[in-house]
Structure 1
Amino acid sequence: MTEGAEQPALNQRQQAILGFVRQQGFVSVEALAEHFGVTAQTVRRDVNALCRLGRLRRFHGGAGLPSTVENDAYAHRQVRCLEEKQRIAREVAARIPDQASLFLTLGTTTEEVAKALLGHAGLRVITNNLNVAHILSDNATFEVIIAGGVVRHRDRGVTGEATIDFMKQFKVDFAVMGISGIDDDGTLLDFDYREVRVLQAIMAHSRTIFLVADHTKFHRNAMVRLGHLSEVDVLFTDSEPPSAMQRCLAEGGGSVVVAAADGTAPAVRRVRDGSPEECSNEN
């Protein structure tokens, strides 16, 4: 499309598809067809039109948001998939004992984890997330340690060289960390290279790494490489990860905890040789 040309108006279904994908982050063609009650061919035409306009980006089997250099607004991320994040948070909290030490990183899902941990006792928490620190300060038995550095106005996250140096002073039981996206090849991705360096320091100084990621993070692109799924001990999510990602977890003997939507016991799988193997709920 030439510069300055007027973009064609979207029809009602295209507007609805765009809003749905913005809410979910990534949606398969089949899911879109089922949601809107149309054929997959009709969905593909609408998605192709939206992609030509730069409103969406095609991925294998579906569509997602186009940007890889800028995350969605923090207020939007707070409410997106909130119920799923809360289920994930409860499963994480159930696997962290009292008197444990942990890092809690930036992210709206880790903030839900902080809320789910308020019933614990004697935790020692190091965080670069001022929202997490505020939440956890309601428990008088916790010791909450805030990293120094530069505060980002958009989400009250603390990053920078001082933050990295601060994190390197500790060796903790658990790192509970969020992520912006997980590529098909298992690469963990984020938008801010400064935040990535902080996360890398956290991973290097944790005995057990818990990654919290709802299904919208699968196949989602961002521009900065953090690490790989094989470095993660447990992936907590709300939907069965794609088989390719499970194979990546298998490289490090990792486990997947899928938080159930219907209140039933979570599906916990230890992944071996790319095949999910049922295991007990004990870590």
Structure 2
Amino acid sequence: MIGNDAHSGHFERNDCPCAKYAISIERTGGVSSVMIRAERHERILAELARRGSVSAQDLSKLLDASLATIRRDIADLDQRKALVRTHGGATLPQRREELPFDAKVMAYLPEKRRIGAAAGAALEQGILVGCGGGTTVMQMVPAIRHKSLRLVTTAVNIALELRDARTIDVTLTGGTLRRRTAETVGHIAERTLQDMNIDVMVMGVDGIDLEKGLTTYDSSEAYVNRVMADRSRELWIVADHSKFGQVFPATILPLNRATRIFTDTGLSEEVAERYRQRGIEVLRV
């Protein structure tokens, strides 16, 4: 559906199940400059990831957008808890509180796309793949859409994205919906997974630590992921570099359960080597 506001020159489009997109049209000297709002948000978050804090003035120059537009973007991202609005700009939030799903989607999006593409390309035809939810796992979908696979997932959004993929047999577990991550949890999901013999599980996590292992925010989500991993021959972790060295309340599994880790080049080779020394294949893409 596309709606418009003739007075503001602002158009919104809700054709993506994960995030709300909008097109802002600004006129300078009679020339229209168009950028998708989601693209600006992505670049704002990427700049914050590099610098830690950024001024609205700098963002205005970087993105060739008006200060008013940038301030609206910052206010929107602040409301979603993807950043913290400051006087004249923004900083990264403290990450002890779980971000809303839409904010997670936009954080490190270019890195997540590369990671998802690499993991999807590595999956062999004809196998049974298991996956939970998560914004990095979601980026695997384009790479597997035309493969011949069987897939079992707890993630409602991933099942919906693959509903028209005719060569993929998708099983969505039942269970209680955890709205913040669009995943099903609880004993119904667990019971479904206990009957599966999965070749490869692809798992997203909130934290990866050499000592504390694989962690997340929610204990019910951690348990369902653990059940799926226990039914899997291999466990692949997909996580951008910001997840390394992070520890969250709920432990999913110890680190040595992971077979491969797909991450981005934001993780230094030195840190990657420490994980390889634990017997895990680490791929930086």
TM-score bracket, normalised by the shorter chain, equals: 0.5 to 0.7
Corresponding position of 2:187: 161
**Aligned twin of 1:227:** 253
- Cα separation, 2, equivalents of 1:237 and 1:255: 11
Say if 2:120 and 2:144, in contact at 8 Å, map to a contact too.
yes
Three-state SS of the structure 2 residue aligned to 1:194 is helix
CA displacement 1:89-113 (0-9 Å, x = unmatched): 1111121111111101110111111
Cross-structure match for 1:71: 98
Change over 3 Å in CA distance of 1:227–1:101 after alignment to 2: same
Q: How many residues align?
A: 210
Q: State the alpha-carbon separation in 1 of the partners of residues 193 and 128 from structure 2.
A: 13
Matching residue within 166, 176, 184 for 2:202: 176
Go from structure 1 to structure 2 and tell me whether the alpha carbon gap of 1:33 and 1:188 turns closer, same or farther (over 3 Å shift): closer
| AA in 1 matched with 2:134 | G
Contact 2:207 2:243 in 1 (8 A): yes
- 1:44 aligns with none
Distance 1:113 1:33, change over 3 A: closer
Q: C-alpha deviations, 1:134-154, integer Å up to 9, x for none?
A: 111121121100101001223
Question: What CA deviation, in whole Å up to 9, does each residue of 1:228-275 have, x standing for no partner?
Answer: 222111100002646466434433x2101111xxxxxxxxxxxxxxxx
Q: TM-score, normalised by structure 1?
A: 0.66
Where is the strand percentage greater, Structure 1 or Structure 2? 2
Following TM superposition, the consecutive aligned residue runs of length 4 or more in structure 1 with deviations greater than 6 angstroms are 33-36
Shift of residue 119 of structure 1? 2.2
SS in structure 1 opposite 2:145?
helix
Take 2:52 and 2:235, find their aligned partners in 1: how far apart are those partners? 37
- 1:45-75 residue CA offsets vs partner (Å, 9 max, x unmatched): xxxxxxxxxx99xxxxxx975353x311110
Q: Which residue of 2 aligns with 1:106?
A: 133
Gaps of 5+ in 1: 1-18, 37-54, 57-62, 260-283
Q: Which residue of 1 aligns with 2:114?
A: 87
1:42 — aligned with what? none
Deviation string, structure 1 residues 209-234 (Cα, Å, up to 9, x no partner)? 11000011112331111122221111
**Could you report, residue by residue, the CA deviation over 1:166-211 in whole angstroms, capped at 9, with x for unpaired residues?**
1111111100000011135352110000000011111111111110
The alignment's TM-score, normalised by the length of structure 2, stands at: 0.66
Segments of 5+ residues of structure 2 without an aligned counterpart are 1-40, 56-82, 85-90
**Native 8 Å contact 1:90 1:113 kept in 2:** yes
Give the number of the structure with larger relative contact order, counting CA–CA contacts within 8 Å between residues 6 or more apart.
1
* Partner Cα distance (1:230, 1:32) in 2: 33
